[in-house]
A = this chain, B = another copy of it.
Amino acid sequence: MGVSMDELQLAARNHGMPLEALRYDVTPVGLHYLLVHFDVPAAPESWRLEIGGCVDRPVSLSLDDLRALPSTTRIVTMECAGNGRARLDPHVVSQPWLAEAVGTGEWKGVEIAPLLEQAGVRDGSVDVVFAGLDRGIDGGVDQVYERSLPVGDALGGDALLAYELNGEPLPPQHGFPLRLVVPGWYGMTNVKWLERITVVDAPFTGYQQAHAYRFRRSEGDEGVPVTRMQPRALMVPPGVPDFMTRRRFVEPGTIRLEGRAWSGLAPVAAVDVSADGGATWSGADLQHPPDPAAWAGWSFEWEAAEGDHELACRARDAHGNEQPLEPEWNVGGYSNNAVQRVAVTVRR
C-alpha cells in the first residue's frame, strides 16, 4: 500500500501534528495540524467581514470593529474529517492522513450568535453560509471555499469568529484575519480567511456541503453530512523512534503512557489501553479537560517486558460512542477513528 505523487503533493504542503506534541494542553503554532484546500490567500488591506442575505440589517465590520466587541476565548480541539483516511482499504484518494490531523488551539474572538441576532435573521431562514477568500477547483467545480451551518446551530451554539490563536493574531495559514471556529465539529466547518456570512432560506448546496464531506457508502449514495467529531484517543508514542519506520524502542520497566482523547458528540467518559494489540483492555486515568471543547489528558502505567508489543488506546464518550477496532469505509474516507496502534520493541 502506498500513495500517489498527487497525494504526496498534498502531504508535503499540509501536515499533521507530530504525536509527541500531545504533551501540550494547547498545541504550539506550527505543530497544530493544517489542511489548506486551495492556497493560503493574502487578505487585502481593505478586508471587511460582510454579513448579509436573509437578515433585516446587513452588517459590515473591520477587524478593529470586531476586536472592539465583547470577546470570548475557548480552548478547542480540532480534527480533520479526513483523519485516518490513508488507513482505509480500498484506498481513498485525497489528503492522505494517518492519525495526526488534530490540534488544540486557544481561539479568541466574537461569538456569532449575538452578531446574527443583531443583524436580524429572518423567519424561514435555513442555513448560514460562510465563505473564505480562498479559491480553486475541486471535483471540477471552480469555487471559493464555502461551508454552511444550520441556522439553529449558528444561533443556538457557541461558534466563534476567531481573530487570535494562542494569544497572537491568526497566522496566515490558520485564517488571518478571521476564521470560524465551531467547537466539536470537524475541521472543514471552521472556514478560514472568512470574508462573507450569508443567511439563506433554502438548503445550501455548495460543493463542500452537498458533494464533499458526506458519509456515502457508494458513489451513487446521497449520503449524510459529516458534522461532529467522533471519539478518538491518541497516545504519545513512548520511548524513541527509528527514523524511517517510526517503530518505537523502550527500555523494560514501568512506562507511563500518556495521551489525549476527545469527542465532539459528548464528554469523553473513558479511555482504555491495550498492550497486546487489542486482546485485553485496561482503564486509563482520565483528566478533566481545560475546556468542554478541548481534549482530555489520560495516562496509564504500563509494565513493559522485553519483546515486541502492540499498544493501542480507545476512547468512549458519555453518549456511548466508542472507537471501532477496525476502520469503517466510506467513499470520501471521512472519520476513520479506528483505534491507534503503536508498534513497540522493549529491549535493554
Contacts and interface: CB of A to CB of B under 8 A. Distances in A.
Interface size class of A (residues with CB under 8 A): 35 or more
Interface in A1-47: 1-16, 18, 20-21, 23, 28-32, 34, 36-40, 42
Interface of A: 1-16, 18, 20-21, 23, 28-32, 34, 36-40, 42, 86, 93-94, 96-98, 100, 135-139, 142, 171-174, 237, 240-246, 249
A39 B12 contact: no
Contact of A241 (B21, B98, B137, B173): B137
A179 to B, nearest CB: 14
B100 A12 contact: yes
A129 B245 CA distance: 27
A34 B30 contact: yes
Contacts of A245: 6, 9
A12 B4 contact: no
A244 B93 contact: yes
A66 to B, nearest CB: 21
B244 A12 contact: no
A102 to B, nearest CB: 12
A244 B100 CA distance: 20
A139 B98 CA distance: 24
A138 B240 CA distance: 11
Nearest to A246: B9
A136 B135 CA distance: 41
